[in-house]
Chains A and B, each alone.
Chain A
């Protein structure tokens, strides 16, 4: 089934640990994104990639890093997790650069991360 797959679905992590959230899409979309979603706030962009080999910072990039070695994969790494990074993380893709003009974002099912 075409779409975006995220892993893990949920994770409890001790503060200071390193964590990588995985994201894979099979729609051959050029653009990919990582968002975090917190109660009472809109989705906030962490990092994005317009195409394989390029990445950019979003609204809340501090404490996170990404890589885009190929079209399909876009992992998000927390180098040293802190409690404020407790959130639901969504990976998304689109077939346009930096958001969509008439198209849409396709979201993964999310990764719920708790940092203690």
Chain B
């Protein structure tokens, strides 16, 4: 079956760095997405990886290893506004998105 695994909750300190991991199993693979979702709001796009390696976009970076079925989202210089859920989603061979349950990130001062 198809499956996405990511931690349920993580806690980090303002100004620090946090890495949110995601492992996936899909029938075929057409890319890995990360979305941010603040409580009570809509998900918003953060990143897309289809090739192995690291994609950097400001304070956020996303990494993909296709051979390991693994991705991570790296958040640097954490700010209180980064408190949110982070959703990992993998696209299968039919271009269907398989979503993880999300990782709730709590930032403490």
Contact = CB atoms under 8 A, between A and B. Distances in A.
Interface size class of B (residues with CB under 8 A): 20 to 34
Nearest to A96: B95
Interface residues of A, number: 21
A110 B42 contact: yes
A100 B50 CA distance: 12
Interface of A is mostly: loop
A45 B96 CA distance: 9
Interface in B39-72: 41-45, 48, 50
A42 B42 contact: no
Contacts of A100: 48, 91
A43 interface: yes
A101 B30 contact: yes
A40 B31 CA distance: 23
A104 to B, nearest CB: 4
A109 B50 CA distance: 28
Interface in A78-116: 90, 97-110
A104 B99 contact: no
Given A42-B4, A99-B30, 15 more contacts: A40-B101, A41-B101, A42-B89, A43-B97, A44-B99, A98-B94, A99-B91, A99-B95, A101-B95, A103-B48, A104-B33, A104-B45, A105-B43, A105-B97, A110-B42
